[in-house]
């Protein structure tokens, strides 16, 4: 087979389990971070979640919005991202309530809540 190149193909699959892979609080971000993230009316702390399966971000957004006085900055049901904003205590309370519902009640694997 003269002149033919053999190319190896690699197929990667992502098989998500039920897990919170990131739960992070940014207490006092620099002002320009809100604009860079596309948050027009963001203020206070920023809370960030990454969740699989990705549809669980909808559940997390609902729980967070009912837990404390936060605003939903962004929710992506296709990638499992959730960004919330609000006062530091409200964002932290929302993160804890989301972790309780997803991990304690629904059996998701837990990531530590981190803070920068």
Predicted confidence band at 103 (pLDDT cuts at 50, 70, 90)?
very high
Q: Assign domain 19-115 to a CATH class.
A: alpha beta
Domain boundaries, the chain: 19-115
Q: What is the dihedral of CA 85, 89, 94, 95, to 10 degrees?
A: 90
Mean pLDDT of 4-31: 82
Query: What local confidence, expressed as pLDDT, does residue 17 receive?
Result: 85
> What are 26-59's pLDDT values in tens digits?
999 998 898 898 887 778 999 999 999 999 999 9
């Amino acid at each position: 087979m003269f002149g033919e190149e053999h190319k190896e193909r690699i197929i990667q699959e992502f098989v998500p389990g039920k897990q919170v892979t990131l739960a992070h609080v940014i207490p006092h971000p620099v002002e320009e971070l809100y604009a860079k993230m596309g948050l027009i009316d963001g203020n206070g702390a920023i809370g960030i979640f990454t969740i699989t399966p990705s549809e669980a971000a909808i559940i997390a957004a609902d729980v967070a919005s009912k837990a404390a006085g936060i605003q939903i900055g962004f929710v992506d049901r296709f990638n499992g991202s959730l960004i919330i904003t609000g006062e530091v205590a409200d964002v932290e309370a929302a993160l804890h309530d989301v972790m309780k519902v997803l991990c304690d009640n629904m059996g998701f694997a837990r990531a530590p809540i981190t803070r920068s």
